[in-house]
Amino acid sequence: MSLIELLISMAIGLGVITAAVSFYTNSLRLGGGNLRMGHLSGELRAAMLYMTREIRRAGYSGVEPGSDLNDDGTVDGADLALLQHNPFSDLHDLSTGRYDADEPADSCLLFSYNLDAESEAAASPPLPYIGICEGCTPPAPYHLPPYDTGNMELQGFRLHDGALERRNGGVGGLDCRGVGDQWQDVTSSEIEIDTLRFAIDDQALNVRDPALPCATGLPCLHQRRVTVTLAGALAGDPATRVTLQETLSIRNAKYVPSAP
């Protein structure tokens, strides 16, 4: 083999090796990108599923219509009067806000529902309705002061410092800062949440005549839908980003005896 033939063979071999290394490097880069995107997408989808399943429960009281709510042995107008008031939508209704001025508007959603399915029969002694102020003297129904705020099972989600946080209990009331409340991170430190927005669509129906709009003094039924937008990226890798959006219906309509 001549020197020229040897040089040509080496050049061809070097080209083949370079192409193989480049292909292998690109495959590793593409595979790593797919893994990062899969990790981000999976965590955000799990967070979205968790939020939507919880939000759908807003306003659940655990009391069935037709129950003897005041324990007088009959189901009558007095029970209906109690049923018209739901502590999980009267005192802590579905509402939006934000942690502070540094966070986007409507990046926090507060609500409540009967988490442990307690009922008037579970109280000792038996009490007229869920939300009774058990520690108050004299006892008072939930819709009259003094309120038993510890019995309201406060829930919520908010954006705070790049993390999706879940509210679980506390005494802060309808406050997204939640002084004294319990908040926990839902997303890991590997994820940077940059968008969280809750939009509430409230349709009020005239109970007496659905063809007419709600008016002052008339009973109304509020059917709500919530659109949740969630977006985030991997920490240190803003190019790897996922945006999700879902609209859900609140299962428990809010009944208002008379429109304000």
What is each CA distance from 87 to 96, 182, 224, in whole angstroms?
Answer: 18, 20, 17
- pLDDT, tens digit, 9 for 90 and up, residues 180-208: 567 899 999 999 999 999 999 999 988 88
Task: Name the residue with tokens 């061809």.
Answer: 12
Check pLDDT > 60 for residue 121.
no
Gyration radius of the chain's alpha carbons: 28
The pLDDT of residue 112: 87
In whole angstroms, what is the distance from residue 221 CA to residue 25 CA? 61
Cα dihedral 69, 73, 75, 79, rounded to 10, equals: -30
The pLDDT of residue 250: 95
Q: Evaluate the omega torsion of the peptide bond into residue 138 and state whether it is cis, within 30 degrees of 0.
A: yes
Query: Of all residues in the chain, what percent carry a pLDDT higher than 90?
Result: 33
- pLDDT, tens digit, 9 for 90 and up, residues 243-252: 999 999 999 9
- pLDDT, tens digit, 9 for 90 and up, residues 50-96: 999 999 999 887 777 666 666 677 777 766 666 677 778 877 789 99
The pLDDT of residue 125: 43
Instruction: Determine phi and psi for 150, rounding to 5 degrees.
Output: -75, -5
